[in-house]
Structure 1
Amino acid sequence: MTTIRILTGDSVGAVLDDLARLRITVFRDWPYLYDGDVEYERDYLSAYQSPGAVVVAAYDGERMVGAATGAPMEHHAGDFSAAFAGRPEPLEEIFYCAESVLLPEYRGAGLGHAFFDGREDHARALGRRYSAFCSVMRPADHPRRPLDYRPLDDFWRKRGYEPLPGVIAEFDWKDIDAQETSRKPLQFWMKRL
């Protein structure tokens, strides 16, 4: 049976290695194609020990099988908050629902909803008025795109999110078949809480 744990502050530090391994495993697949390493991941994930951040973790017994991260937008990567320049919503009113990762054998059981519910509840408790996340933009004809790939757009729309036209962040990472990092565009989606 899968259980959900809401982790904040010091409790996040205890799960950084598990979360790093999970992200490396899940993000190797489409559409991220991420060639990650634990050292980089631990450094990146340490930001989720900051005030206002949350990790919504799914466990099968004591094994972490999925997780979703979130933080106040103004505390996240500058590349992400810069995408909102010119938007009417103040960064201090936006909660950034960062990554969600879930092992394939646990998908389709409602954990995606639990991940969003946990982060949105946390955002409301912080007094945030908006929830936002971004999705990787890959060309439809990308050679690594699986033939049976189904985007999550319908799931996100059912949760009340809509893409924000022109609100695109860029972030660097190394693809699994690349020698160096490259910049990737990410489309922001948002909803009012």
Structure 2
Amino acid sequence: MTDNLQILTATGAELERHVPALAELRISVFREFPYLYDGDADYEARYLETYRQARGSIVVIVLDGERVVGASTALPMAEETEEVKAPFLDHGYDPERIFYLGESVLLPAYRGRGLGVRFFAERERHAQALCHEQGYAFDWYAFCAVQRDSADPRRPSDYAPLDRFWEKRGYQRHPELRTSFSWKELGEAEESEKPMLFWLKPAGQSQSD
């Protein structure tokens, strides 16, 4: 249930007024395991500018009153970086036919209300609209997740991987599709590469309950 929360979708210039709050939200949530991200607002503003400018992008935003408490991003993979596209090209996929789901972030107090399911539904609905209204043709939805050792001492005792949640949304892990992203981790002096693994779902396949 979303209670009295407001869910809106922002594209292009509509996104600009939310950038400072989105940057703050991303820095807060990604400090948690497994990302352990030591972020800064300037980098986040530059990152979010990609979604403001990219053709076909979307940001789903959750508001509690005027406060941004959650967000989820997506865009056609053709608009993404080489780090994202390279493993797909190497395995015979066409990035032009893949809709890429970026990240979902939600403050802890708002979890367990169905918003994670809503994030996937809204982004997939946007991809379908791009196909129907703007001539895109997506065969796949895709996202990636950081890989951490199950014995990592920084892993909280109550940490629950999201694999089962993603599987219920219709996504499957593809171990052959791997890349790496660089960011500055808590405790690091500078950025280092982190291993990322992709999950895929055929476009048009519905979510389970």
Range into which the TM-score falls when normalised by the shorter chain:
over 0.9
- 1:85 deviates by 2.1
1:120 aligns with 2:130: no
Map residues 11-30 of structure 1 onto 2, 5 A cutoff.
Answer: 11-30=14-33
Map residues 1-193 of structure 1 onto 2, 5 A cutoff.
Answer: 1-49=4-52, 50-127=54-131, 128-193=138-203
Q: Secondary structure at the match of 2:89?
A: coil
Q: Secondary structure at the match of 2:174?
A: strand
Identical amino acids, percent of aligned pairs: 48
Please give the alpha-carbon distance, in whole angstroms, between the structure 2 residues aligned to 1:124 and 1:89: 19
Please give the alpha-carbon distance, in whole angstroms, between the structure 2 residues aligned to 1:152 and 1:164: 15
Any idea what the Cα deviations from partners look like across 1:44-92, whole Å, max 9, x if unmatched? 1100012200001111111110000011101112101112123343111
Q: Secondary structure at the match of 1:17?
A: helix
Q: Secondary structure at the match of 2:102?
A: strand
Please give the alpha-carbon distance, in whole angstroms, between the structure 1 residues aligned to 2:28 and 2:146: 17
AA partner of residue 165 (structure 2): F
Question: Which residues of structure 1 form unaligned runs of 5+?
Answer: none
AA partner of residue 105 (structure 2): V
AA partner of residue 110 (structure 2): Y
Q: Secondary structure at the match of 2:49?
A: helix
AA partner of residue 146 (structure 1): P
Give every structure 1 segment of 4 or more consecutive aligned residues whose post-TM-superposition deviation is greater than 4 Å: none
Question: Which residues of structure 2 form unaligned runs of 5+?
Answer: 132-137, 204-209
Of residues 24-33 and 124-133 in structure 1, the stretch that sits farther from structure 2 once superposed is 124-133
Any idea what the Cα deviations from partners look like across 1:152-182, whole Å, max 9, x if unmatched? 0000000000011210110000111111111
Of residues 125-134 and 25-34 in structure 1, the stretch that sits farther from structure 2 once superposed is 125-134
Please give the root-mean-square deviation of Cα atoms over the aligned residues, in Å.
0.9
Please give the alpha-carbon distance, in whole angstroms, between the structure 2 residues aligned to 1:97 and 1:187: 13
- 1:129 deviates by 2.4
Please give the alpha-carbon distance, in whole angstroms, between the structure 2 residues aligned to 1:151 and 1:115: 18
Please give the alpha-carbon distance, in whole angstroms, between the structure 2 residues aligned to 1:33 and 1:188: 19
* Match in the other structure for 2:135: none
**How many aligned residue pairs are there?**
193
Please give the alpha-carbon distance, in whole angstroms, between the structure 2 residues aligned to 1:143 and 1:175: 15
Q: Secondary structure at the match of 1:126?
A: helix
